[in-house]
Amino acid sequence: MRIGVLTGGGDCPGLNAVIRAVTKSLIRQCGAEVVGIEDGFSGLMDANPRTRVLDWRSVSGIAHRGGTILGTSNKANPLRSPADTERTLANARALALDGLVVIGGDGTMSIAHGLADLGLRSVGVPKTIDNDIVGCERSFGFDTAVATATDGLMRIETTAMSHSRVMIVETMGRHAGWIALEAGLAAAADIVLLPEIDHTVEAVARVCREREAQQRYTVICIGEGAKARGADLTVQHRVEGSFDPVRLGGVAHVLREQLQSLLKSEVRATVLGHVQRGGQPTPFDRVLATRYGHHAAQLVAAGRFGEMVTLQGGDLRSVPMARVANQQRTIALDDPLLVTAREIGVSLGEH
């Protein structure tokens, strides 16, 4: 058996641990040959495909490393034109691939699903720091992102305290507020603003004013997809050719301007950005990614292509790829963690 492995879409801490586990499991369990495809689907679409053999030694010592040794692309799409599709399928035949393991997000899964209809089968491994995959209670990379965001918030808190300032810290997560909520709770932020709950600037200002009179400083954690009631999403820029071209970011600066005119204290904003995606995965993420990779290899061994690995009730399971493509798991308004935040007095900027 000869299996191709690729990482597609934005990167995420833990990708190398998945590559290692899937490769070692395939070699050991199935005696398979594993072919690494470089830069996501881009490496398989080129006239001269870019691949490398993944053997035992080439994936040793990488579980702790951030990024992806294979490289990735958030633009390459073999389904974009009939010529691209035909070249990709011809390359897969020339490489004698029996199937692929694709490690990626929404876009990667829907491409893999489309290629399966044309004869190139895949097993999927979901990746995102956003933790927003439907049917999957925890994606690898999220724990690392939360740890980094928490560290950022806590560093901001000490300087907020020294200067009696209102400090706004923006986290990633697109339309899901999981990183903002968990990091906000972990760092004991005073106000947490989420994409799932529109805030009002007046409600946020009121909490800041109350704190001005007592504690003298305020830390606000805001998810990049959050917005004030009636306002538009803050779009940072567009990446044309990407599966979802809209890039969010910068809402912290918008809020800073709005708040400054309502408060005596100085207001400052920090956008944490890609620092949340980089660096070494936490031990938790290394273990979770290893479990995902091992389970993906088991699906390949059982011939269960068309499925994507998920975590449900703490156990590794799988769901049809088609069921998760193009959907997001956002925070439900009755989510226990959200209820906890509210009930311990964290302001969500609602009223």
Which residues are documented as binding site for substrate? 128-130, 165, 172-174, 224, 268, 274-277
**Which segments are annotated as binding site?**
10, 75-76, 105-108, 128-130, 165, 172-174, 224, 268, 274-277
Q: Mask of contacts with ligand F6P, 311-330, x by CB under 6 A?
A: --------------------
Alpha-carbon span 106 to 86, nearest angstrom:
22
| Part in contact with ligand F6P (CB under 6 A); list of ranges 107-115, 128-136, 215-223, 298-306 | 128-136
> Of 174, 227, 256, 295, which one interacts with ligand F6P (CB under 6 A)?
174
Q: Which stretch binds ligand F6P (CB under 6 A): 50-58, 127-135, 295-303, 334-342?
A: 127-135
Q: Which positions from 250 through 289 interact with ligand F6P, judged by CB under 6 A?
A: 277
Which of 39, 84, 98, 130 is labelled catalytic? Answer: 130
Q: Which residues are annotated as a binding site for Mg(2+)?
A: 106
Which residue has the closest beta carbon to ligand F6P? 172
Measured from the CB atom, the residue of 124 and 173 that comes closer to ligand F6P is 173
Q: Identify the residue among 133, 172, 192, 255 touching ligand F6P (CB under 6 A).
A: 172
Part in contact with ligand F6P (CB under 6 A); list of ranges 87-95, 122-130, 190-198, 199-207: 122-130
Positions in 44-73 near ligand F6P (CB under 6 A): none
**Closer to ligand F6P by Cβ: residue 85 or 144:** 144
174 φ, ψ (degrees, to nearest 5)? 50, -125
Check residue 247 for interaction with ligand F6P (CB under 6 A): yes
CB of 226 to ligand F6P, least distance (A): 12
State in angstroms the smallest separation of the CB of 337 from ligand F6P.
19
- The residues pairing with 304 across neighbouring beta strands, listed in sequence order, are none
By CB under 6 A, is residue 144 in contact with ligand F6P?
no
Dihedral sign (CA 241, 244, 250, 254):
positive
Q: Is 130 a catalytic residue?
A: yes
Q: Which of these ranges, 95-103, 167-175, 206-214, 337-345, lies near ligand F6P under the rule CB under 6 A?
A: 167-175
Chain residues that interact with ligand F6P, rule: CB under 6 A: 10, 74, 128-130, 172-174, 224, 239, 247-248, 277
The residues carrying an active-site annotation are 130
